[in-house]
Structure 1
């Protein structure tokens, strides 16, 4: 007997709908490698319907006083808590993530982030009104940009959806969001939650819409005439394509792309503590995190000791089933990603040494062992390109100047960390490292109040914080004559 696949649907103007042409794609649980659902493969007619719904809902949502939008977001946060177990189950099946970690590491920050932006809705800031020309008063209006086309990734589909819709809705925009074609389940559930809140509080459910589909669906969203802004979290290639497509009608673009975070470890570091924290930051979520601690640069004086300790930590790190509370991470998200990670290992140069891991785990699903690779050079592929898997590379540096040069010597510039007891050195490094975030003696913590975003090919625009909120607003100058 074959198990019937669950049927996921688009959410457009408050209704769950199949794709207009009936096309679907199968959704696979990466922990088993087996399909568990179907989702719409949306085309132009579906995108048109969602954009029209968001456009129709925009004027009333825009014109609400901020306190009313805040009420909606606070109610959404409450509902996330009330339906947490549903969200956890959906995300675990979506991604193969350990249930316990979704419960402890994703639900609480998501709820907190929604509540943060609920507060931000009432904290619009601008220059003080005043007379900057004799006889005239100038004021600044901060307004929503309009309909936002948003594309979320597959590594944190639920949390990245929050990072996108929360500031957009708080600022008065309406939303059409597309989850990855491999991870639509939790976003469809979020649509049910938000739609029910909008309905209860008497607002148009067209404020929030979900379209399932593939890259072509995303392209149709970005190129559609209605959205004023396109936001994507994804690969560098996808970001470049979005920027090119959006340029045709000068849409605003918000890009959070890849990362290759350097982890610079100096000789005065507490090695056991650093190894413990770095291995968690490198392997959490199977290394499928743009800020993951995957590129370690360690001072030559402690290189051998550090590598041995890191390899031991990797051998003690566990990946496995979603219901095993002892595992740190689950599988890679899809078969293509498993193939990509394997490819990096297979193409390692002769001078590289696999200190731990380096192979697929089990014969079911897309699990990969926690891996440490040493003996690498700055221009090696695995140092320069984002692996997006549970692989930590190690290089040995001789002095601070070389550490900075190698740390900055990649095309990505999202996150980095410095490990030292020397405060002055930490300050010098934080100034010299060309990354959107520099952690000192830690790696990967995020808070709603602080911005997340990078430079160079890691994209532009900020998530979280007041800066992320500002990205979803536009500035208008209003000048009035005092002569009446």
Structure 2
């Protein structure tokens, strides 16, 4: 069995006390590697390395940072086959889907932020007070602590480190304890093109994350994770007045009006709901359908579910793989088992049988209709391949139900009526709204939510700006 190591100050190192834990492949339920169970001493070592490195990295020019990120992007592209293999062993994802849908955006996002490093903007200098010229400096914040989740471990690491490094910060990142392998490999590749200490990766559990957040060195803590984890991070960071960047859960409404094309909408929504086993905070898993097409839509969605395959990473034609861990499998199964009597299961509703994956955490693509707004499955994030359907009569009812959750990350509207689409996109209380599509992202546009989905933006120039601080400089120019 191989052993992962932390990357601190440019070197691969074990935890200070030598402690390790097993990392399990979700598709088999078996351990395939071990990772350092890092403690406060390891976190402190990484923070000190990042602090030292910031003294010089923070003074680099945007051109130098751009060139480093471009070299890292090229390294990822050159070793994409290896990264895909590690990511799929890490997560149980299908190899073909990961190679086609995840690696190319990762490379593109690095290249986007490489370019963005050179176009930071601020207000033009001017004399807002007689005989005094004012201007704005955008500066790196310093050392940044980052925590990434298990659903997209490689991509979320890039969403975090790319803007932070582009802005001139140094980083200490903790990947999820269940999926550290691809992040460690990413750090190894990046380390070949960065000075020691600029990017550090420390593996471990929640206690490691707490040590990261509570350490006095970082001035910003960024996390993608659950609402519980985000609340803990924000609470701990407040004690030291650290800035916080939170991308948390979601419960995306997918509002389908009666003028939508039933077949094409059902196909696209099924893909958006089942992709990555529904383990996506933007997943299209809460569908609101107009009365006039409700029955036809549910039937079409059930047919899509029955045609959707889950399986081992190497299986051909598989859309999604295993759930990440046994606790997550139990959570998804428990929410389906607790469905109220007025709900109807049209497809799935149980664990999935996968040849060769007897120890894996597989759940069948599921469709549930008859849900009502107060139901647990309508309100709480399932984070699994379960699409629920509610019906509505009028646009106002659809909007009320769509907004009646604590999350505010993403939503979509399906209609041929342009004015209705514009009204809904304005009134939906979500950070991302798609029209007649669901789940595409581009590097140039921001991703981030409202309410219990957190605050701050990933991707885009807004994401880069989140990793900068603003300084006003004023100079007396009178005689």
Regarding TM over 0.5, the answer is yes
Find the counterpart in structure 2 of residue 127 from structure 1: 123
Query: What does 1:12-411 align with in structure 2 at a 5 Å threshold?
Result: 12-198=8-194, 204-362=195-353, 363-411=358-406
Residue 483 of structure 1 and its aligned partner are, at CA, apart by 3.3
Distance 1:268 1:184 in 2: 45
Distance 1:188 1:127 in 2: 39
SS at match of 2:27: coil
Distance 2:453 2:309 in 1: 30
Residue 433 of structure 2 is aligned to residue 438 of structure 1: yes
Distance 1:124 1:410 in 2: 36
Find the counterpart in structure 2 of residue 201 from structure 1: none
Residue 311 of structure 1 and its aligned partner are, at CA, apart by 0.5
1:369-407 deviation line (CA, Å, top 9, x unaligned): 000011111000011000000000000000000000000
1:248-277 deviation line (CA, Å, top 9, x unaligned): 011000000000000000000001110010
RMSD: 0.6
SS at match of 1:361: coil
SS at match of 2:475: strand
Residue 212 of structure 1 and its aligned partner are, at CA, apart by 0.1
SS at match of 2:474: strand
Find the counterpart in structure 2 of residue 462 from structure 1: 457
1:385-431 deviation line (CA, Å, top 9, x unaligned): 00000000000000000000000000000000000000000000001
Distance 1:403 1:41 in 2: 47
Distance 2:372 2:64 in 1: 56
SS at match of 1:249: coil
Distance 1:31 1:295 in 2: 26
Distance 1:170 1:378 in 2: 43
Distance 2:19 2:312 in 1: 32
Contact 2:30 2:359 in 1 (8 A): no
SS at match of 1:368: coil
**How many residues are aligned here?**
475
Distance 2:409 2:25 in 1: 29
SS at match of 2:239: helix
Q: Which runs of 5+ in 1 are unaligned?
A: 199-203
1:328-377 deviation line (CA, Å, top 9, x unaligned): 00000001100100110111111111110011112320010000011111
1:38-69 deviation line (CA, Å, top 9, x unaligned): 00111010000000000000011110110000
SS at match of 2:74: helix
Distance 2:316 2:165 in 1: 35
Distance 1:205 1:155 in 2: 28
Question: After TM superposition, which residue ranges in structure 1, 4 or more long, deviate above 3 angstroms?
Answer: none
1:216-248 deviation line (CA, Å, top 9, x unaligned): 100100010000100000000000000000000
Residue 205 of structure 1 and its aligned partner are, at CA, apart by 1.6
Find the counterpart in structure 2 of residue 420 from structure 1: 415
Distance 2:310 2:142 in 1: 43
Residue 6 of structure 1 and its aligned partner are, at CA, apart by 1.1
Distance 2:340 2:2 in 1: 45
Distance 2:193 2:241 in 1: 33
Q: Which runs of 5+ in 2 are unaligned?
A: none
Distance 2:296 2:478 in 1: 77
TM-score, normalization by structure 1: 0.98
Distance 2:150 2:55 in 1: 32
Residue 325 of structure 1 and its aligned partner are, at CA, apart by 2.4
1:301-329 deviation line (CA, Å, top 9, x unaligned): 11001001100110010000111120000
